[in-house]
Amino acid sequence: MNGWSPESWRSRKALQQASYPDQAALAAALAELAELPPLVTPWEIHTLKDQLARAATGHGFLLQGGDCAEHFTDCQSDVIANKLKILLQMSLVLVHGLKQPVIRVGRIAGQYAKPRSADLETRGPLTLPSYRGDLVNGPEFTPEARTPDPKRLLRGHGRAAMTLNFIRALSESGFADLHHPENWDLAFMAHSPLADDYRKVLDALGESLRFMQVVGCGDSGELARVQFFASHEALHLPYEQALTRRVRQFDGWFDLSTHLPWIGFRTADPDGAHVEFMRGIANPVGVKLGGGLSAAWLEDLVQRLNPTREEGRLVLIHRFGVERIERELPPMIDAVRSTGQPVLWVCDPMHGNTETTARGYKTRRFERILDELCLAVDIHRELGSRLGGVHFELTGDDVTECLGGARGLNEIDLERAYCTQVDPRLNYEQALEMAMAIVRKIRG
Ligand code: PEP
Ligand code: MN
């Protein structure tokens, strides 16, 4: 690829990077990282790309979700299993309701680096570097924690590897067996107002599986495991570079830190370092699109990232917010159409709908999130395009970070279990309810 190498991004402006005081320690950590085994394989990446290509032509739906920021302390069996459970449950609801294959992608096993609105944070008399995710520094407001530490790159790789190892084991074993979806039940679900609706989906699914067995279709081995892919924002370029490897069989370079890396809204400048890095890797690539973008900008971006118009390569994740989507999305759809690019359109209804309560909690309202999703479905339809997936910040735990939903969480409830260090996530119940609402909207 012309002028590209795994480090050609270094000649461009790289926004949102950590500033390491000890460059020799950084170089040593990156050298070690470059020798370690990668986290995913090019074969898996190709499988995902094929599925994304099919979804872009109307045969499949992407479900992408997980924490805003993972923490090293999240590398625990329950936390990982709960996230897998909610994504599996949502995918069942979507498969059943949409009658389409669902591509399951976690924001998981590497979502450790975060963009921040300011480089520094001041509390009282003290000013320190902002928390940039566990891959860079710690959230505690002390000089020790906030100083970027290159050893965290190795810990991040290790935690991501352990997380993926556990996910792979669960997805391949009895846990993921479609004949036993009760394995994915979460303890607090029994008392949920949604329990009945979810049971109905399971009953219908069980009936279909039994029918398939009776008529002799369906390889039971296939139904005993699920495919699950990992994704994260490829923000920390030295880390991504160290895990980018040349793969001879495919005659290309792959970022083997994850299956689906994405470019964040703040770092999507076509001339910037992130776009330069991503244009040369063979993975499918996501890009977040937010308010204020011009059509010419997007045309330039997609041509640079996919000059050969490869199918399955581009996932455009729009996150305009419920107030702006009607104005901002249509010109983007037209712009992409004018380039002839085969993209998969996905809506992230979280990042454009964040607000702060009077008591100072950063939150999002279930109803506004859903409203943006519904508008996205309608706008794509009206323009002859198709919304081919959704992107959520969610957790399998019973947190109280977003308002509303079937249980009607209010501002007082937020104090009960507000756990996020960064953006507010849908809790388990809100996430499942969202999957049911998507089905209602799309199926009409
Ligand atoms: C995120 O996904 O957590 C994020 C920072 O999103 P965006 O780049 O869309 O702002
Ligand atoms: Mn976020």
On the question of pLDDT at 303 being above 80, the answer is yes
On the question of pLDDT at 1 being above 80, the answer is no
Residue 112 is classified by DSSP as: -
Q: Which of 236, 319, 353 to mutate to test the pocket of ligand 1 (most atoms within 8 A of CB)?
A: 319
Ligand nearest to C-alpha 263: 1
Average pLDDT score over residue span 397-406: 94
On the question of pLDDT at 243 being above 90, the answer is yes
- For residue 48, give Cα distances in angstroms to 227, 303, 393: 9, 21, 21
Among 134, 137, 138, 153, residue whose Cα is nearest residue 31: 153
Helix 77-98 vs helix 428-443: crossing angle, to nearest 10: 10
Where b means 16+ CB within 10 Å and e means fewer, 226-247 reads bebbbbbbbbbbbbbbbbbbeb
Q: Which of 116, 262, 263, 265 to mutate to test the pocket of ligand 1 (most atoms within 8 A of CB)?
A: 265
d(CA 179, CA 322): 39
On the question of pLDDT at 221 being above 70, the answer is no
pLDDT at position 284: 98
Ligand nearest to C-alpha 235: 1
Q: Is 425 in the pocket of ligand 1 (CB under 6 A)?
A: no
pLDDT at position 220: 60
Q: Give distance in angstroms: CA of 350 to centre of ligand 1.
A: 9
Percent of the chain with pLDDT over 70: 98
The total of other beta-carbon atoms located within 10 Å of residue 407's CB is 17
On the question of pLDDT at 205 being above 90, the answer is no
Among 374, 443, 365, 371, residue whose Cα is nearest residue 404: 365
> Which protein residue has the closest C-alpha to ligand 1 atom 2?
68
- For residue 341, give Cα distances in angstroms to 30, 265, 305, 320, 378: 35, 20, 10, 21, 21
Q: Is 291 in the pocket of ligand 1 (CB under 6 A)?
A: no
Q: Give distance in angstroms: CA of 401 to centre of ligand 2.
A: 13
d(CA 29, CA 63): 34
Q: Is 115 in the pocket of ligand 1 (CB under 6 A)?
A: yes
Interface ipTM above 0.95: yes
Residues 24-33: tens digit of each pLDDT: 999 999 999 9
Report the chain's mean pLDDT, rounded to a whole number: 94
Ligand nearest to C-alpha 352: 1
How sure is the predictor about 222, in pLDDT bands with cuts at 50, 70 and 90? low
Q: Give distance in angstroms: CA of 314 to centre of ligand 1.
A: 17
Q: Phi/psi at 302 (nearest 5 deg)?
A: -70, -35
Atom of ligand 1 nearest to the CA of 69: 3
d(CA 381, CA 61): 15
On the question of pLDDT at 218 being above 70, the answer is no
pLDDT at position 188: 66
Q: Give distance in angstroms: CA of 61 to centre of ligand 2.
A: 22
Longest dimension (CA), the chain: 73
With tokens 């159409």, the residue in question is 337
d(CA 418, CA 267): 28
Average pLDDT score over residue span 71-77: 96
| Protein residues near ligand 2, an ion, with CB under 5 A | 68, 423
pTM: 0.96
Average pLDDT score over residue span 398-423: 94
Average pLDDT score over residue span 71-90: 95
Least confident among 48-57, 179-188, 287-296, 434-443: 179-188
Partnered with residue 387 across adjacent β-strands are: 345
How sure is the predictor about 174, in pLDDT bands with cuts at 50, 70 and 90? confident
d(CA 424, CA 421): 8
Average pLDDT score over residue span 27-47: 98
Atom of ligand 1 nearest to the CA of 391: 2
In angstroms and rounded to an integer, the radius of gyration of the C-alpha atoms of the chain is: 21
Where b means 16+ CB within 10 Å and e means fewer, 129-163 reads bbbbbbbbbbeeeeeeebbbbbebbbbbbebbbeb
Q: Give distance in angstroms: CA of 204 to centre of ligand 1.
A: 36
pLDDT at position 194: 83
Atom of ligand 1 nearest to the CA of 348: 9
Partnered with residue 126 across adjacent β-strands are: 123
Residues 364-376: tens digit of each pLDDT: 999 999 999 999 9
